[in-house]
Chains A and B, each alone.
Chain A
Amino acid sequence: MAAQSDETQMSFFTTENRRLADVIVARYPKRRSATIPLLHLAQEQHGWICDDAMIEIADLVDATPAEVKGTGTFYEMFKFHPVGKYVVNICGTMSCKLMGADELMNHAEQKLGVAVGETTEDGLFTLEHAECQAACTEAPTLQVNYRHEYRVTTDDFDRLVDDLTAGRRDGDIPAHGTLARIRQEIPANRAVGAVPPEEVDGPPAWLPQEGA
């Protein structure tokens, strides 16, 4: 797992991620809007969302831990228990179904030796059934940690698993939890800054006598 475990356990986020969390929260007119981005950040750090993460996020976004959990559990990408280093999502919606998704899923279960929804004993792979991955012309598709693979044959699948196991895809497929490796950075001298809506009482500067 990608966890950079925090031995002290005083706080969940590492110092660097805590700094990032503060930057993210400050971008929104209301702190609560940062809930989902912070859950992603927690998952990136730890591989899944643990209670400590939700408690700390609640504090950061002015919500209760239960509210954070309530939000988090609505979304499929958030995992509340450990999952494999690689989450393999095989699409089973119409276009993929028409192009052989069932055979691919059956083959995947055989190859990995787990049923859909399960994690391999070595903790490397979690196999999941997924819905439409916006790659419908390239069916059947799958994602590994949300990285697409297109027109996947059973041979392709075997090669993919072997490559992942051998670490040959480490360059383009990070461990579960890491989504984008390029982050938005707003230079301080360019930022307008988020303002709570109740503190705004007129049209923005470039709309002077509009509507007159």
Chain B
Amino acid sequence: MAHLRGSHRKGREPVTATSIPHAPGFFASETPRVVTQRFDYEDGYTFERAMATGAYEGFKTALTRTPSEVHDEVRAATVLGRGGAGFPAGVKWGFMPPTVWPRYLVVNGDESEPGTYKDRLLMERDPHQLIEGCLIAAYATGLSQCFLYVRGEMPLAHERIAQALNDAYADGLIGKNIQGTNFSLDIILHWGAGAYVVGEETALIESLEGKRGMPRLKPPYFPAAIGLYGQPTIVNNVETLSNLPWILTNGAAAYTAIGTESSPGTRVVAVSGHVKRPGVFEIVNGTTTFRDLLYGEDYCQGIRDDNELKAFVPGGGSAPWFTPEQLDVPFEGRECSAAGSMLGSGAIMVMDETTDIPTAALSLTRFYAHESCGKCVPCREGGTWLEKILTRVVQGRGTSRDLDLLLEVGATICPGDFPHASSSDLGLDATPFPYKMTTICFVGPSAFAPIHSALTLFRGEFEDRLIDDDAAGAIGVPVAISSNPTGEEAS
């Protein structure tokens, strides 16, 4: 597929969703395709093309079975949540209390984790697949209304979903007594308005209730118990739900035949940064390695200009970094955790040898500091200070104490050992994922993760730009004061 460079169309003809070109980036590969099949058609998002290529067949199959049979099929497929946490959808659905009604479905289409670019494509290029997934989930678990929460900054996704919903309603696939059965469901398209933290599922619910999008205190750990309007609520990611039509059409056994037992099926991942062919790919779960992805002919085809790979972020901006030593780690949750990071949202960001590591770390820390909702002090204050201190280091105004201070502030957000990759050069063993945290959600720890990775694996690059106290005093930089001024426990 052609890689568009900008879209400088002369916009004279009246514009409809159909006349806006697809977002570029997706490359089809030889791997089994579960959720991107309709991407082969330019018009795969239209009702006509979707119906001609088997849309709603999985749902119609579901309607011939009992809801609990459908739930069992999804459970047997072990569809790991694709929003970041990787929790199996079928199991999560089972957490709803059996006697509390109504129950709701909230679709998480707020995609904004740094590096993540797949839900937008799934919404823009195959909205009917997503709608079908919603119908299957609602039928299986007795959800009485579905809200499709789409990130506000994605107007094309909105237009295509709106059109798809309108067409599916008109055809009797959504709404009252669907297909002449007693299954009824409204699916409501809802708009976000720009706030990363709203992607966190309890913040998503607060936002959908018309409030500021701040995460709720845990427990309860899952909105399945107490969610929208205090009712049992399933929150699932766009990609997670997009898997369901294929599973109902082809069966859980066919699904688990792809990938590994612990990570079946496929995943849609985006690889960006310094590779020859950045792109979005559907890959086999569990077995595909980062080396396959970064260097494979089907995928990114190597590092740009044949440079050396320096580091990569394996699972979205929140994830601790990997180096070339971890290239053979497969796309499998447990193996990735053991190696010191997480698969997160399927977002790989690649840094070649020319990368200025402290600047790269700052671009992520700044993101999380900026996106803090302010509810927890360690995140609100800590994130801000991490950004300030790192900024002065990057700008060549930091002193050696600033590096320790960064780690001290980080320890107020994540006390104890923080996960990191192994390094034979540095004589480091991996510290496995996850970490302990003092905050409600992962935004706080995520502000620290890039700093911790960069400082652990590339400390020299920070030291190279430090100045001594006298020089700092001369240019009026406040000299770092330890957060542990009494020096207890300090050597």
A interface with B by C-beta (< 8 Å): 27-30, 32-37, 39-40, 61, 63, 70-72, 74-78, 89, 92-95, 97-99, 131-139, 143, 146-153, 156, 159-160, 163, 168-173, 179-187, 189-195, 197, 200-207, 210-211
Contact = CB atoms under 8 A, between A and B. Distances in A.
A52 to B, nearest CB: 19
A130 to B, nearest CB: 8
A95 B191 contact: no
Contact of A75 (B156, B176, B193): B193
Contacts of A190: 169-170, 172, 174-176
B209 interface: yes
Contacts of B102: 29, 195, 197, 200, 204
Interface stretch (B28-36, B286-294, B334-342, B356-364): B356-364
B114 A75 contact: no
A192 B194 contact: no
B6 A206 contact: no
Contacts of A203: 101, 142
Nearest to B139: A206
B69 to A, nearest CB: 11
A138 B174 CA distance: 35
A137 B280 contact: yes
Contact of A40 (B10, B193, B313): B193
Considering residues A134, A179, A184, A195, which has the most beta carbons from chain B within 10 angstroms of its beta carbon?
A134
B279 interface: yes
B14 A206 contact: no
21 contacts: A33-B208, A33-B210, A36-B192, A76-B195, A93-B367, A94-B317, A95-B114, A131-B112, A132-B317, A135-B23, A137-B280, A146-B154, A149-B7, A163-B8, A168-B10, A171-B12, A182-B158, A182-B163, A190-B170, A204-B102, A206-B184
B15 A95 contact: no
Interface in B269-301: 270-274, 278-280
Contacts of B196: 131-132
Contacts of B10: 168
A77 B152 contact: yes
Contacts of A207: 67, 142
The 5 closest A-B pairs by CB, nearest first: A171-B11, A190-B175, A35-B210, A75-B193, A76-B194
B355 to A, nearest CB: 7
B152 A135 contact: no
B273 A95 contact: yes
Given A203-B142, A210-B68, A182 B16 contact: yes
**Interface residues on chain B, size class:** 35 or more
Contacts of B360: 94, 97-98
B218 interface: no
Given A30-B209, A163-B8, A131 B370 contact: yes
Given A77-B193, A206-B67, A71 B211 contact: yes
A192 B185 CA distance: 7
Interface string B180-197: 011111101111111110
B132 interface: no
A41 to B, nearest CB: 10
Contact of A192 (B162, B175, B313): B175
A148 B350 CA distance: 22
Interface string B103-119: 00000000111111101
Contacts of A34: 210
Contact of A150 (B5, B101, B174): B5
B406 to A, nearest CB: 18
B364 A210 contact: no
Contacts of A152: 6
B213 interface: yes
A32 B209 contact: yes
Contact of B210 (A61, A98, A138, A171): A61
A89 B166 CA distance: 31
A27 B189 CA distance: 10
B367 A173 contact: no
Contacts of A147: 155-156
Given A184-B166, A206-B67, A211-B98, A131 B371 contact: yes
